[in-house]
Amino acid sequence: MSINWVMHSETEGYTNLPGEQRLYTSPPRTALTLQSMNKYPGKEPFSIQSSTGCVHLTNRRMIYLPANPTPTFSSFAAPILNLHDTHVAAPFFGPNVWSSVVQPVPGGNLPPQHAALELKLTFKDGGAFDFHSLFERLKERCQQAVEVARESGTLSGDVNSAQGPGVDVFLDELPAYEVATASPSVSPGAATTIAATDAVSPPGLAHASVPVSPVTAGATSPREERFAPPQEPPPGYEAVQNQSVQEELWSRLRQESERRPSE
């Protein structure tokens, strides 16, 4: 993180570094607040504020240019990997706020006694969630690029330098966002698909489709089928029938033998 280290440009606002590309620019009414997190007694607090300005996100760093620069604050820049614990707060009243814990870089014109500072960007004209979504994707790509560069030994420069890591990160273009619409007619017997859409999904995310089996008109369930008796006797039917006949015969013989003495 550095203060007043950005080279200004009359046409573009700032001068890009070698291999740097701009990926996002916020609306002009974006506020910045940079202050010390822990205000211990005896430690001089640090605070910088700007009510209006633009936030630029590149493939290497985040840049803030105030609308009304002063000799003490004309620009702010921070490498992507020096911003931690990023999140968006959406209050009931007021604009959305993007917060982060920033890690200062050596020689960044900041007091050396502050190991971490709190950064807040207030998006008065919207764009906080778009900025946050792009930043998270960019930070993940930067971490992967740094790991690959370290393993291959091609990392140039310091990761914690004011200009960011010496690796170039480029985001692949995602497919255009399209709203899924139902077809006017579906032929009988053909499988249909239901698109899983979400009203709050960010643009560029592909929708998943879930196949649905076709439903045939007039099909009967197993409960509605009529019961048909079997055509053949079950296994062991004859043996059980013979046994029952024998038992009945022996019972009759026993009864006759019991009646004969009395006669």
- Cβ count within 10 A of residue 136: 11
pTM assigned to the model:
0.59
Q: Is residue 74 part of a domain?
A: yes
Mind listing the pLDDT tens digit for each residue in 187-220?
444 443 333 333 333 333 333 333 434 443 444 4
- Domain-embedded: residue 130: yes
Which residues on adjacent β-strands are paired with residue 50? 32
For the chain, where are the alpha helices, taking DSSP H only? 128-152, 237-259
What does the pLDDT read at residue 51? 95
Give the span between the Cα atoms of 122 and 108, in whole angstroms: 23
Average pLDDT of 4-31?
88
Q: Is 162 within the bounds of a domain? A: no
Q: How many structural domains does the chain have?
A: 1
Is 111 a member of any domain?
yes
Q: Domain range for residue 104? A: 2-152
Q: What is the CATH number of the domain that holds 50?
A: 2.30.29.30
Q: What pLDDT does 97 receive?
A: 96
Closest CA to 80 of 132, 34, 42, 35: 132
Residue 234 in any domain: the answer is no
Residue 97 maps to a domain: yes
Is residue 136 one of the residues assigned to a domain? yes
Residue 62 lies in a domain: yes
- What average pLDDT does this structure show over 129-142? 93
Looking at residue 205, its pLDDT comes to 35
